[in-house]
Amino acid sequence: MRQKPTVLAREIVATSRLFCVEELKLRFSNGVERTYERLVGKGAGYGAVMIVAMLDADHAVLVEEYCGGTDEYELSLPKGLIEPGEDVLAAAERELKEEAGYGARQLEHLTELSLSPGYMSQKIQVVLATDLYEESLEGDEPEPMGVEKINLRELSGLAQNPKFTEGRALAALYLARDLLTQRGVFLP
């Protein structure tokens, strides 16, 4: 097992309303020293959740929202921050109701994914939601989100859709499809 580098210094070098840029001065086991920068969330950092919500054996829910990072309306899976004192499954249930207008009778934690781990500390919990029912909660979105569905048999086509660019969401859909296939729920 590799030895993690020694942290020689750690300093916040920039901040915004949502993020901090942290500079890490590191010494690796071979004596080489480097400075890394990483984006870290502000506050306590309770994490985030992304939900693969299955409408039936073949179809998952997608939401469409404005994304400031790309300055476009994009399709993705319902997702959001975990609130203080909230566990992953409760956060998934709440976010699904707020963003897509569905609740789920069955929720299952699948995995944890990162995005650009070379310079971002954020991770997201992936939850599978099944046995959906219609129920909405008011969320913090500035406008209602569009709700669409995707057939799990058409994921390669989804990857070609210019409105769907989030790699974590695509990975989560493939993971859910593989799990459902192994369980005999989804037959390719």
Domain extents for the chain? 6-39, 47-183
CA proximity to 48, closest of 110, 2, 95, 102: 95
From CA 1, how far away is CA 3, in angstroms rounded?
Answer: 7
Q: How do beta strands 72-76 and 123-134 pair?
A: unpaired
CATH 1.20.200.10 fits 47-183, yes or no: no
Report the pLDDT value the prediction gives residue 186, as an integer from 0 to 100.
66
Q: What ranges in the chain are assigned the alpha helix state H?
A: 88-100, 155-158, 167-182
User: What pLDDT shows up at residue 44?
Assistant: 46
Instruction: Please report, in tens digits, the pLDDT of each residue of the chain (188 residues total).
Output: 888 899 999 999 999 887 789 999 999 999 999 999 988 876 546 789 999 999 999 999 999 999 888 888 999 999 998 998 999 999 999 999 999 999 999 999 999 998 888 877 788 999 999 999 999 999 888 888 999 999 999 999 998 999 999 999 999 999 999 999 999 886 66
Beta bridge partners of 41: 19
pTM of the predicted model as reported, rounded to 2 decimal places: 0.87
Predicted local distance difference test score (pLDDT) of residue 187:
65
* Spatial distance between the Cα atoms of 47 and 91, rounded to a whole number of angstroms: 10
How far apart CA 178 and CA 104 sit, in angstroms, is 20
Question: Residue 148 and residue 78: Cα distance in Å, rounded?
Answer: 11
pLDDT of 188 reads: 62
